[in-house]
Amino acid sequence: MGFSHAYGAPTAEQETIRMLQYAYELGYTFFDTAEVYGTPNDPNANERVVGEALQSIRNHVRIASKFGIRFDYDSLEVNKSLILDARPEVIRMSVEGSLRRLRTDHIDLYYQHRMDPAVEPETVAEVMAELIKEGKVLRWGISEANENYLRRAHAVCPVTTVQNRYSMMVRQHEALFPVLEELKIGFVAFSPMANGFLTGKYGKDENFDKKYDYRSNMPQFTAEAVEQNQELLTMLREIAKEHGASPAQISMAWMLCKKPWIVPIPGTRKPERLKENAGAAEVYLSPEEVADLDDLLDQIPMSAVFGGSSVKTGRGQCEVRTAASRQ
């Protein structure tokens, strides 16, 4: 996502292609995109560049994409509202567009990007079952799912994974873990470093692009929040030093070692960060260390964290989702 959307002005396409191919050389095999990662002038940019970058190695990688939202580009805010639309005919149009841009005849993992209250989960799941039968989609998932929606959808067409926001600073979805274990559904963690905050590389005086960069409007990057989160960052640095790792690697090793079915999807546009993030898979934290970390995270004071864009439901009316609390 970050190459084309939400983390500053888009990266030049050829540079993006080189970076994605370099990621594969480092061992990355799972690439996450969506039909809406782009700009007002090129709203589908990310799928197109991912398709070009991975075309020659398509049989060696897994591609995830998403349907069901579009951005309100009439908004003047940097963090555009989401317009939900998971009607069957829209899903059909979306999958055909994604297949074309991704230069493939199937999508390995296809997510409903957000739950649409105007469309029953059973209806969405029926469309997914049809697409799987047709071979256009191999597996499907739901992003930002709750238990009720997940159970209803899963009963019609088995769900492979849920993709929810999850990090040391945002842990409310741990309440869903027993359900995932019961139903044998995986968990893909997006924003596993709290939009990069847990790398410890951002200070009080960061200046983010107010036109393109969502971080300019995220509560964890304010000067007050940076100060409030110093205890957390200090703890991360100390544990990282003990393990010969970086804070970013510890923040992901914590979830990798917590459950074998948790898959973080870190994003970056820098080659050195690609290598660093990959190294998180080599960091081992014992069950006791993970449990101790959980206890510490329950006690350490933290700021609010960005919790998602405002959402327009009913094809129009606006329901605002604000920054998430630490819980």
What percentage of the chain carries pLDDT values higher than 70? 95
Tens of pLDDT, residue by residue over 80-126, are: 788 999 999 999 999 999 999 999 999 999 999 999 999 999 999 99
- Which pLDDT score is estimated for 188? 98
Window from 95-99, 166-170, 295-299, 318-322 with minimum mean pLDDT? 318-322
What percentage of the chain carries pLDDT values higher than 90? 81
Report, as an integer, the average pLDDT of 4-17.
91
- Which pLDDT score is estimated for 320? 36
pLDDT at 165 over 90: yes
Window from 119-123, 136-140, 297-301, 307-311 with minimum mean pLDDT? 307-311
Its pTM stands at 0.92
What burial class does residue 12 get, using C-beta atoms within 10 Å of its C-beta: 0-12 exposed, 13-18 middle, 19+ buried?
exposed
Spatial strand order of the sheet with 82-84 comes to 69-71, 82-84, 311-313, 317-319
Cα–Cα distance for residue pair 165/51, rounded to 1 Å = 25
Cβ–Cβ < 8 Å for 104, 149: no
- Which pLDDT score is estimated for 8? 86
Which residues have CB under 8 Å from 164's CB, separation 6+? 143, 144, 145, 173, 176, 187, 188, 189, 190
- Which pLDDT score is estimated for 212? 80
What SS3 state is found at 80? coil
- Which pLDDT score is estimated for 6? 81
Q: Give strand ranges (E) for 262-314.
A: 262-264, 311-313
- Which pLDDT score is estimated for 76? 67
Tens of pLDDT, residue by residue over 173-228, are: 999 999 999 999 999 999 999 999 999 988 777 888 877 888 888 899 999 999 99
Which residues have CB under 8 Å from 324's CB, separation 6+? 165, 170, 172, 304, 305, 306, 307, 308
Tens of pLDDT, residue by residue over 257-276, are: 999 999 999 999 999 999 99
Q: Model confidence at 303, in pLDDT bands (50, 70, 90)? A: very high
What SS3 state is found at 93? helix
Cβ–Cβ < 8 Å for 118, 314: yes
Question: How far is CA 108 from each of CA 1, 56, 138, 195, 262, rounded to the nearest angstrom?
Answer: 18, 16, 5, 25, 18
Question: How far is CA 11 from each of CA 2, 65, 126, 181, 217, rounded to the nearest angstrom?
Answer: 8, 20, 37, 38, 21
Which active-site residues does the annotation give? 37
